Amino acid sequence: MKWWKIFITKAFWKNLGIIVLIAIFLIIAAFFSLNLYTRHGNSKPLPDFTGLTEAQLQRLIQNNQWRYTVVDSVHLADVPKGVVIEQVPKAGEHVKKNRNIFFTINAWDDEQVSIPNLQDYSLRNAKALLESYGLAVGELIYIPSEYTNLVLGQHLNGKPVVPGTLVSKGTVVDLLIGRGLSSKLTAVPNLMGLERPIAEQVATSLGLNLGAIIFDGSVVSPDDSAKAFVWRQTPTSASGAMLNIGASINVWLTLNDSLLRVNAPALDDVPTDVFDDDNAFESEFQ
């Protein structure tokens, strides 16, 4: 029997029909299975969750058998804290059961920033720097100083604040600003023999400041600097010496009692050889 005659036998066509029917059945079964698995036509439009807190949106999510994830948080000052500000998919899109909805919310906590060091900045530059950090300029407290419109300190809630302190964005920082020398005069105090903190108190009580603070070689540690006393000052407290309010007095500090005279000497009387090449000293400027 020739091979092509197989195609005209009843057995061939019977088997071919069975194969075709099985293939059609498998295709239909696969279609319905896929349709059932994907829940074709069983989706709902997504509501607008914007403005809802996480506690408020949970009931809607559960009732529709969806799932959700908070993927990000931002800080917006003009939006209530903890509410949804963005969602994916968008409102109105049809979403099926068990679909994950992604939310971005406005953070509950205020954004934190560090306070910059504003000392020795001009008032204009200090304002610009504060604003770049998201902080606000509060009260401008003018104090006597040799420098006009120079920032001499920064306060928070009425107290000095250390640069780098973390505060909420939008916090108000008060600035101590130099207003220049006053036309009023005050007597130059005798600071000889006084430790630095006391010398500062005395100068401040008269409307004056300490300018350059110079330690001699006897001061080698922080503990020494706390105990060091003034043995020289410029200008001196000579009889009748006066300064404008806001001016500064330069002081030299030591632990060497021999440098301290019982009576405050005139500047010309102070020996100039106390600072030799082997005697290290440090200057600090306020």
Q: DSSP string spanning the chain?
A: --GGGGGGSHHHHHHHHHHHHHHHHHHHHHHHHHHHHHTTT-EEEPP--TT-BHHHHHHHHHHTT-EEEEEEEE--TTS-TTBEEEEESPTT-EEETTPEEEEEEE-SSPPEEEPP--TT-BHHHHHHHHHHTT-EEEEEEEE--SSEEEEEEEEETTEE--TT-EEETT-EEEEEEEE---S-EEEPP--TT-BHHHHHHHHHHTT-EEEEEEE-TT--SHHHHHH-EEEEEES---TT-EEETT-EEEEEEES-GGG--SSPPPGGGS-GGGS-TT---EEEE-
Q: What is the pLDDT of residue 286?
A: 35
Grade residue 276 by pLDDT with cuts at 50, 70 and 90: very low
pLDDT digits (tens, 9 = 90+) for 227-260: 899 999 999 988 788 988 888 899 999 999 888 7
pLDDT digits (tens, 9 = 90+) for 140-199: 888 878 888 889 899 998 888 999 999 988 899 999 888 877 788 889 999 999 998 899
CATH number of 185-285: 3.30.10.20
C-alpha–C-alpha distance, residues 230 and 238, integer Å:
16
Q: What is the pLDDT of residue 102?
A: 94
pLDDT digits (tens, 9 = 90+) for 56-78: 888 889 888 899 999 988 888 78
Domain 112-179 belongs to what topology? Trypsin Inhibitor V; Chain A (3.30.10)
Choosing among 3.90.440.10, 3.40.50.720, 3.10.580.10, 3.30.10.20, the CATH entry for 43-106 is 3.30.10.20
Residue spans of the domains in the chain: they are 3-38, 43-106, 112-179, 185-285
Rounded mean pLDDT, 206-225: 86
Q: Which residue has the tokens 């720097």?
A: 129
Mean pLDDT of the chain: 81
For residues 260 and 137, which has the higher predicted lDDT (pLDDT)?
137
Topology agreement, domain 43-106 and domain 112-179:
yes
